Chain A
């Protein structure tokens, strides 16, 4: 795996038209650390995640990797350094599982076919799905599809991984496998930002938990502090409803 980097968001603002979605977000993730972002729907969590790899460009504020602003980098080059996993998996349905991995390896990392296949198979093996290499995504369960999506992102050897409610679309019995894989990745020292409703995961895996509401981080800290002694009344109310 590539060496991880630290990630910082500074005063990130973003509006869709007149609707202010992010209103000055700060977040710090140490190199190799895992930050979980929790909060009610519509609080701007997924939008925030998309400013990190600039699928959305912040109106104001800064995004830093290892202390260096990335807002002037080539977005395509930046996104090679940042893997992203989506709620709906977003595998490419018209190609095999293997090709989902080899296509970006060949076209973006410019590996030759043999290298790409070897790397893709290694990543599929790592998520326990080497046997599914030749299947179409539609023939896999949701949990398997999400693990393939994680493998596809990891194959690009990113320095940061973003997870956007990666288990929200899964049947309950499939959630565990995906969370276990994410926890394993965290243990191996990948810098991760995880938007999640899985409070148990946040408590056990995160180094930092950030609670977002209405476009700002209202409270952030280590999981024990956030879950055991929440300060902000909004966070207390949120936790009383989800726990």
Chain B
């Protein structure tokens, strides 16, 4: 057979793709999304804690946060997933039975939290110190000032980096296949790989790749869009939710009128 044609059929065999498609849609895609989104949420919650500990004045908070971050950023994701997924399996067995799925989510979350902690910390530290001073001068406690004034501003600035981390998580979620998932727990990569292994044809794996791209490429554009919006600010329209107050405005204005 024509070698080019062979090559084409190895990757773009429509029959193999059609065969894998239903399972990708109903099993693989939901599982990939569950793994990535749950890990993003857990990782963010833990990341905030790490960020606040990382800028704490107390050495006993700062130091563990530093070590944690170094370890989980420094290890290969595959090693962490195996260490957590296999190492904690006996413990998981007692809590929820022989199910590697929660440990996969845990490992992904721990990895993500190390990166997200650094991202949040840089965001928080990018907020001008005068904002904290102003909040404290009004009577906010340090904790309330962080929560209401500093962190919300910091988070906004790192939204693009956060979405980037979500993209990384979508890709890294493929690594939980190490842990030996049940058929119903398989994510996109594993399903593609299983079909490819059974048929010797790579088209199902390529289809899985297309699914990943369909998730990640739009997200990169979301990042760019957020970035642009943060840079230029949102349009002034839409900020007014109460048109009535225009009536209250002008009469009785004290002080010099500007503009």
Contacts and interface: CB of A to CB of B under 8 A. Distances in A.
Contact of B256 (A126, A136, A176): A176
B254 A181 contact: yes
Contact of A86 (B133, B152, B242, B249): B133
Interface in A81-106: 82-84, 86, 88, 90-94, 96, 103-104
B239 interface: yes
B182 interface: no
B195 to A, nearest CB: 48
A128 B253 contact: yes
B228 interface: no
Interface in B227-259: 233, 236, 239-242, 245-246, 248-250, 252-259
A94 B150 CA distance: 10
A230 interface: no
Interface stretch (A57-65, A140-148, A197-205, A214-222): A140-148
Interface in A19-63: 53, 55
A156 B140 CA distance: 12
Contacts of B233: 136, 138
B139 A92 contact: no
A235 interface: no
Contact of B140 (A76, A88, A181): A76
Contact of B133 (A55, A133, A143, A144): A55
Contact of A84 (B137, B141, B239, B253): B137
B216 interface: no
B149 to A, nearest CB: 6
A153 interface: yes
B122 interface: no
Contacts of A144: 258-259
Interface-centre pick from B130, B137, B249 (highest chain A CB count, 10 A): B137
A55 B248 contact: no
A181 B136 CA distance: 24
Contacts of B249: 125, 130-132
Nearest to A176: B256
Nearest to A103: B148
Contacts of B248: 121, 125, 130-131
Q: Name, among A83, A104, A153, A177, the residue most crowded by chain B CB atoms within 10 Å (CB to CB).
A: A104
B153 interface: yes
B214 interface: no
Contacts of B239: 96, 134-136
B66 interface: no
Contacts of A184: 254-255
B139 A139 contact: no
B131 interface: yes
A55 B139 CA distance: 10
Contacts of A129: 253
Contacts of A126: 254
Given A55-B133, A94-B156, A125-B248, A177 B258 contact: yes
A125 B138 contact: no
Nearest to A175: B256
Contacts of A139: 236
A134 B156 CA distance: 20
- The listed residue with most B CB atoms (<10 A of its CB), out of A103, A121, A152, is A103
A180 interface: yes
B140 A107 contact: yes
B91 interface: no
A64 to B, nearest CB: 19
Contacts of B245: 121, 130-131, 133-134
B15 interface: no
B242 A134 contact: yes
B226 to A, nearest CB: 14
B144 interface: yes
A90 B133 contact: yes
A86 B130 contact: yes
Given A76-B141, A131-B246, A134-B242, A94 B255 contact: no
Which one of B139, B153, B239, B240 has the greatest number of beta carbons of chain A within 10 Å?
Answer: B139
11 contacts: A76-B136, A76-B139, A76-B141, A79-B138, A84-B134, A86-B137, A92-B135, A125-B249, A128-B257, A141-B259, A153-B138
Interface of B: 130-131, 133-141, 144, 148-149, 152-153, 156, 233, 236, 239-242, 245-246, 248-250, 252-259
3 shortest interchain CB distances as A-B pairs: A131-B249, A177-B256, A128-B253
